[in-house]
Structure 1
Amino acid sequence: MEIDNASQPCTFGDQNSSDVTVLLYTWEGRPVFFYCHSKILIRKSKFFAEQLSMKAVTNSSNEFSNFIQVLCQGSEFDSYAKLLKLLYTSDDSVLESLDSVKTTLGVLRASIALHCGSITKCCMQYLEAVPWDEKEEDEILKIAPSLGPAAKPILARIQPINLTATKNVFVSAIRFATAVEKSFPPFADELKTSAQEQVEYMLLEDEDTPMVAIDEEVKSEVRTGLSNLIATFEAELSLIPLGYKHSPEVAEQSVLQSLSDLDWMCGVLTKMEMLKDFVTSWSEISDKVLAVLQEDNCYLGLWSVKVKVIELVGKAFDAIGFGNVVLPTHSRLHFLKKWLPYLRDIKPLLDAKSDKDESFTHRLDGDLCQNIEGAIVSLVLTLPSCDQADILGDWIQRTEQLKFPNLSEAFEVWCYRTKSANRRNMVELSDAGNPTLSL
Structure 2
Amino acid sequence: MKIGGGGGATGVAAKKRQRTGSSNRLSSTVAAIDSSRPDEILDECSHKPSALRRTASHSHLPISSRGAFNDSASADTVLRLYVDCPFDDDDAESISAVDSLDQSDVQIYLHSDVLRRCEYFEALLSERWLNESKDTAGDSGSASKMHRFSLGVPDTPRSIDDHITVLQLLYTDDYSATIDSVSTALSLLEVALKLIFEECIKACVRFLEAVPWTEEEEKRVFSLIPLLRDEETKDLLARVAPIKHDSSEDMLRGLIRAALHNHTNMAFVKAFVAKLLRDFSSKELARRVLDRVFEMSLKVVKESLEEYSSPDFRCDHNDPEAIQRLNLHTAMTNGRHLLWLVERMIELRVADTAVKEWSNQVSFTADLQRAFRDDAWRNYVPGLPAVVLRCTCKLANAVSMGTILADRQVRMKLVKNWLPVLIACKDNVSPMMPNHKQLYLELEETFLRIISTLPLSDAQELLQQCLSFSTRNVEDCPHLISAFTTWFRRANRSHEQKDFVCKKFGDWAD
Normalising to structure 2: TM-score of the pair? Answer: 0.48
What's 1:140 paired with? 221
What's 2:205 paired with? 124
Distance 1:37 1:47 in 2: 15
What's 2:379 paired with? none
Using a 3 Å threshold, how does the CA distance of structure 1 residues 223 and 258 change in structure 2: closer, same or farther?
A: closer
What's 1:204 paired with? 282
Q: Which has the larger radius of gyration?
A: 2
The aligned length equals 345
Using a 3 Å threshold, how does the CA distance of structure 1 residues 271 and 117 change in structure 2: closer, same or farther?
A: farther
Distance 1:222 1:145 in 2: 44
What's 1:37 paired with? 110
Give me the identity figure in percent.
Answer: 17
Conserved 8 A contact 2:115-2:121 = yes
After TM superposition, give the deviation of residue 193 of structure 1 in Å: 4.7
Task: Choose the corresponding residue for 2:258, options 172, 176, 184.
Answer: 176
Task: Choose the corresponding residue for 1:112, options 176, 182, 193.
Answer: 193
Task: Choose the corresponding residue for 2:152, options 70, 75, 80.
Answer: 70
Aligned-partner residue type, residue 205 of structure 2? M
Residue deviations 1:193-247, cap 9 Å, x none?
55555677789356xxx69986998565443788989835999xxxxxxxxxxxx
Task: Choose the corresponding residue for 1:381, options 453, 456, 462.
Answer: 453
Distance 1:41 1:226 in 2: 73
What pairs with 1:219-368 in structure 2 (closer than 5 Å)?
221-223=296-298, 231=332, 263-264=343-344, 270=350, 273-275=353-355, 313=393, 315-319=395-399, 322-323=405-406, 326=411, 328=413, 329-331=415-417, 342=438
Aligned-partner residue type, residue 261 of structure 2? A
Distance 1:17 1:31 in 2: 25
Distance 1:14 1:345 in 2: 91
Q: Which runs of 5+ in 2 are unaligned?
A: 1-36, 38-62, 86-99, 137-142, 303-328, 373-388, 427-434, 504-510
Using a 3 Å threshold, how does the CA distance of structure 1 residues 147 and 161 change in structure 2: closer, same or farther?
A: closer
Q: Which runs of 5+ in 1 are unaligned?
A: 236-256, 289-308, 347-371, 429-439
- 2:498 aligned with 1:423: yes
Distance 1:44 1:7 in 2: 10
Distance 2:211 2:219 in 1: 15
Aligned-partner residue type, residue 125 of structure 1? R
After TM superposition, give the deviation of residue 178 of structure 1 in Å: 0.8
CA RMSD of aligned residues (A): 6.0
Using a 3 Å threshold, how does the CA distance of structure 1 residues 377 and 17 change in structure 2: closer, same or farther?
A: farther
What's 1:48 paired with? 121
SS in 2 for 1:273: helix
What's 1:155 paired with? 237
After TM superposition, give the deviation of residue 23 of structure 1 in Å: 1.4
Conserved 8 A contact 1:223-1:277 = no
Task: Choose the corresponding residue for 2:183, options 102, 119, 129.
Answer: 102
After TM superposition, give the deviation of residue 136 of structure 1 in Å: 3.0
Using a 3 Å threshold, how does the CA distance of structure 1 residues 51 and 135 change in structure 2: closer, same or farther?
A: same
After TM superposition, give the deviation of residue 43 of structure 1 in Å: 2.0
After TM superposition, give the deviation of residue 318 of structure 1 in Å: 1.8
After TM superposition, give the deviation of residue 177 of structure 1 in Å: 0.8
Normalising to structure 1: TM-score of the pair? Answer: 0.54
Aligned-partner residue type, residue 20 of structure 1? V
